[in-house]
Amino acid sequence: MAVTNSASAASAANSNSSASKSTELAQLTGVEAAKRAAAYAAVDNHVKPNHEIIGIGSGSTVPYVVERIAQQGATVNAKRWFIPTGFQSRELIITAGLRLGDVDSFPSIDVTIDGADEVDNALNCIKGGGACHLREKVLAEAANEFVVVADYRKNGSQLGTKWLQGVPIEVAPFAYAKVLQNLNKMGAEKPVLRMGKAKAGPVVTDNSNFCIDAPFPEAQMKDPSDLLKRIKLLTGVLEVGLFCNITKSAYFGNDDGTITIKTADGKVQEGVHFDVTKPPATA
């Protein structure tokens, strides 16, 4: 009788836990709910059981990516290595109990999922609002598939129409003044050295470099691939936050709870419903 009661209690506890989890998942609203829906859908569609090396990007949507991957279960995740783009994603991986790897050991990645500051209709992206774009691009290009997750505010038709802070550019500290001068000559509109918000002095990247934000006129932003090449040729520039012809799919969470999915072949799915309370297939 005691065994039956214990089993019943355990069953009830599990039921209550599941109900509590479902309630917790349903409670997010607005932009955060949109981010979570986009992240969960991207993980379910692109992080497959046979994937062993997974890149984890940076940004405010990425915690939901790691959360969903963890929900796939300990069995499948025990076979995987997770490669971070920076401090934030490294901490997320460790906190979730996932195996931490590095791109030195795993230069080929099955899939990388990352956020973005803006995405255009051709899936070109502006990234680097968090000053991690050098490492983010390494992981994006190392992946067989690069997937972007964001909320509806990042979904644009042309780069530079929603993200107005400019193109993030990682530069060697020694060269920043000359790079600023050259960006002005290229037509940048008041490029600036990014300053820290909680410290006196410039933002320092995970690679011990500086970051410049360079707004460009609409005419130059219409061809981000060309702009990327020209900026990259400047001496002292380490990497540019323009990600061109890399992204395979982009997921945007909308404020009505639906998802918009864009793919590199030009297809767009709008109004996609995704149940965040449903466990992933591998769980």
DSSP strand pairing (143-151 vs 249-253): parallel
* Half-sphere exposure in the Cβ direction for 48 (13 Å, CA): 8
| Helix/strand/coil for 83 | strand
- Angle at CA of residue 68, ends 66 and 73, nearest 5°: 100
Distance CA 256, CA 29 (A): 9
Task: Give the helix/strand (H/E) hosting 63.
Answer: helix 62-71
Pick the closest to residue 135 from 194, 44, 207 (CA basis).
Answer: 207
Q: Is 136 tagged catalytic?
A: yes
* Options 136, 145, 170, 239, the catalytic residue: 136
83, 100, 214, 252 from 106: Cα distances, Å = 8, 11, 33, 29
- DSSP assigned state of 161: S
- DSSP assigned state of 128: -
Distance CA 137, CA 166 (A): 18
- DSSP assigned state of 257: S
Tokens (6 digits) for 119: 């995405």
Return the active site residues. Answer: 136
